[in-house]
Amino acid sequence: MSTHLLAEKSNLSISYLQSMIQAVLLAGLVSLIVTPWLLGANYLSANLPRTVIHDRIAKAFSSGALGDAVHLRTNTKQGAHQYNDCLILAMAFDDRPAAKLRALSPVTPAELPGNNPCVYLQTISAGGEPTPLGPGTFYHRYLHGQVALTALALQWMDLSTLRVLNDALAFGMLLVLISTNLIFLVSALDRISIRPSQPSEFERAYRHGSLLVLACTMMLFYGVQFYGMSLGHAPSDAVDYLYLFAATFVSFTTVRPWLALTIHAVFGVLTAYFELFTGGLPLGVSLIFFCYASLAVGTRRNEVLWLALLSSVAFLTAFVVAVVTKLVVAGTFFGYHEVFGNFLSQLHFWTDGERVGVVDTAIALAESSHYLGAGWRLLGVLLLALSASAFAFSLFTSWKRFQPGDNWQYAALLTLSFASIVLWYLVFRKHAYQHNFFMIRISVMLIASSFLLLLFTARDRLAGLLRSAAVLARSLPEVDTAAEVKPPNGNSQLRST
């Protein structure tokens, strides 16, 4: 008997390993197919006329749409994060190298005057001398999708209009996500009230209810009003919203596994394309675990957990392959030593350089938590504290009450969603410390996952309260639609009330 069990466990381990290898190979293939097209889009964008971009930037400074401040705290018109905006515009502005070189690695000064790209951009847009070209002036570390998109958009509109469009798209996409999931949730609840024996409707209700919670949380606490218009943040945010649309309309557990893995691989490639080390990678992983948690309510919970792990691996593999592909292509033009040396040195700087303590990073994030609290720091700190407390309470309560057969997969996936953000802060705490004012944004997943985990843990108590509220509502006296009125002559008449 024991030999038979060992053989079954061995076969199961081999099956899991094969599935993992297949996920990695599929994601790598998808990334190798999609990434060249994105680099081709960079090349087409680099060939667009630069004169109109020069004019747009010069007019932006003269009109006040651009200034010399790199951080505008809680600014809802130009956006809080001007550093990256000016950096992106400067890379789109500088057209001295050949288009094929700028498509891969745009020009940015190795040493910015006063570490202020806005001052540098204002100087060169006014006719000043740009930084001399050299090995240290090409920005090799990213795929620079924002530069390509910004250069294209400036062909058709000025900077202020582009910011308004970005802002409208951010709020519009979140509003549609909220509305769509609310409609689907109400529809599922209506069907459950008619035919309560349909497991598929329960799964739909959990899925769209969870996504509704997430979309509302992002609308309220993701700092969209401060970063939604940003040239650097808007494209990467849009990729996350598009993934949530995919999770809304596609149940990853009912489609074929290869299709679910392909969706997550494309998600990884697009995240890499618009990544500027602003939190897209940990946020993407956290979103994946959260979305799969919304599916872990049926009889196939173990399969959901395993598919979530495979999808996260596909996302990470596609991301890494996209970055490496870009570095390899850039190395053929600039030299592999320069390109990979630049990338690895910066990665080492953020992980093994002059590191800061965990407490220092936590304090720095708390100091910028006003971006979670709609400009109110106290609210942001309270949200973080409540999230940590709710997470710890829910885990402890779930562990204490656990019985064989309980749905531990739902809690496990939400825990992974929460832990993805915490792990990033721990590993890259120096980066989070120095860039706390935008890295705080990904803490929105701490709020969403801990809140949903608390609801799940207290679901019996919550259901009891809702039943009590329903009884209370039914006990209220009905309002008469008509009342008997006796006029002075004594004849009875009916008058609408």
Residue 496: per-residue pLDDT: 40
Instruction: Tell whether the model's pLDDT for residue 170 goes beyond 60.
Output: yes
> What region, left, alpha or beta, does residue 133 occupy, with left being phi > 0 and alpha being psi -120 to 50 degrees?
beta
Instruction: Tell whether the model's pLDDT for residue 259 goes beyond 80.
Output: yes
Q: What is the pLDDT of residues 271-287, one digit of tens each?
A: 999 999 999 999 999 99
Q: What is the pLDDT of residues 289-305, one digit of tens each?
A: 999 999 988 767 778 99
Kindly state the helix (H) or strand (E) to which residue 43 belongs, with its residue range: helix 2-46
Question: Which of 150-159, 173-182, 191-200, 378-387 is predicted with the least confidence, judged by mean pLDDT?
Answer: 191-200
Q: What is the pLDDT of residues 8-28, one digit of tens each?
A: 445 556 788 889 999 999 999
pLDDT band at 487 (very low <50, low <70, confident <90, very high): low
Q: In the predicted model, what is the mean pLDDT of the chain?
A: 89
Sign of the torsion angle spanned by Cα atoms 7, 12, 15, 21: negative
Question: Which of 65-69, 93-97, 346-350, 427-431 is predicted with the least confidence, judged by mean pLDDT?
Answer: 346-350
Q: What is the pTM of this model?
A: 0.91
- Answer yes or no: are the C-beta atoms of 70 and 91 closer than 8 Å: no
Q: What residue has token string 């407490």?
A: 359
DSSP string over 345-388: HHHHHHHHSS---HHHHHHHHHHTGGGTTTT-HHHHHHHHHHHH
Instruction: Tell whether the model's pLDDT for residue 231 goes beyond 60.
Output: yes
If one compares 272 and 191, the residue with the highest pLDDT of the two is 272
Q: Cβ neighbours of residue 108 under 8 Å, at least 6 residues apart?
A: 87, 90, 91, 117, 131, 137, 138, 139
- Spell out the domain ranges in the chain: 35-153
Percent of the chain with pLDDT over 90: 67
- Answer yes or no: are the C-beta atoms of 147 and 45 closer than 8 Å: yes
Q: What is the pLDDT of residues 301-333, one digit of tens each?
A: 778 999 999 999 999 999 999 999 999 999 999
What is the distance between the alpha carbons of residues 489 and 475, in angstroms, rounded to a whole number? Answer: 37
- Answer yes or no: are the C-beta atoms of 315 and 268 closer than 8 Å: yes
Q: Classify 488 as helix, strand or coil.
A: coil
Residue 493: per-residue pLDDT: 47
Residue 461: per-residue pLDDT: 82
Instruction: Tell whether the model's pLDDT for residue 213 goes beyond 50.
Output: yes
- Amino acid identity, residue 135? P
Q: What is the pLDDT of residues 57-111, one digit of tens each?
A: 999 999 999 998 888 888 888 888 899 999 999 999 999 999 999 999 999 887 7
Residue 432: per-residue pLDDT: 92
Residue 462: per-residue pLDDT: 81
pLDDT band at 3 (very low <50, low <70, confident <90, very high): low
Residue 11: per-residue pLDDT: 55
Instruction: Tell whether the model's pLDDT for residue 252 goes beyond 50.
Output: yes
